[in-house]
Structure 1
């Protein structure tokens, strides 16, 4: 069964709302035959990444960069996965109060270095997520999961 791995750092209520919407989209009952695995960024392993067929990445923007937790995750699995995960789709969601550009740029650089392919446009929010924002998060999760359907 294809696996979608959701690697996230969810330290705030806004990130939690986004995470829940992404999970709801990825696990929609109309999307069948996909195993959705959730791992906190500080707990994900190279084995988790190697076993997955696609990825959803969630991070707050901290001081103009991805969270330290997501950076740690990339540091943990980057080289063990470098030659084995190229071409796999990924999606990204980011929440920041201001200055999300550096966080987006840093995640895109790491994903590009791994050879991952964007499976959907990133969802990047500032301030409290509204209904339309959460729908975009839901669509992100659903889009990535649907791409992996057998």
Structure 2
């Protein structure tokens, strides 16, 4: 069976957000998951070619003034039209590092992914409030969930 590609596009402006992204990658790259190749890039590094090559995407962003990070918005600005037709139905998941409630961030990302006709595989993971080490476990589980779905052929 050919390997499927899981693209992780995560904004990592701090040590904590880098740790969240690393946890997602760790979960997605679990040794029992054999047929999934994990590609992780920042929103500034990722482009349309990465989305076109992906079988699923995990998006990670900070909550910035009640909105997604400017970096993730830039990613969407550059990739939206080049992938619009070819990647309808693309499975995706979202995690948000939110100092407040993450509502505006979630709404903004869901508005764009709805326009792209991408399919959410689960509710967004919102790591809200003060830092908690449990965020790392939750992000690892999210990465594993999406990668297992790809590996099993259900995504």
TM-score by length of 1: 0.95
Query: 2-side partners of 1:146 and 1:121: how far apart?
Result: 17
Counterpart secondary structure, 2:63: strand
3-state DSSP of counterpart to 2:71? helix
User: Which position in structure 2 is the counterpart of 1:130?
Assistant: 133
The whole-number CA distance in structure 2 between the counterparts of 1:128 and 1:108 is 24
Structure 1 residue 55, shift from structure 2 partner: 0.1
Contact 1:21 1:134 (C-alpha < 8 Å) held by counterparts: yes
**Any stretches of 5+ residues in structure 2 without a counterpart?**
none
Query: After superposition, where does 1:6-21 map in structure 2 within 5 Å?
Result: 6-21=8-23
> Counterparts of 2:16 and 2:124 in 1: how far apart (Å)?
16
- Superposition RMSD in Å: 1.1
TM-score with structure 2 setting the length: 0.92
* TM-superposed deviation, 1:99: 4.1
Please point out which of 49, 55, 58 is paired with 1:56: 58
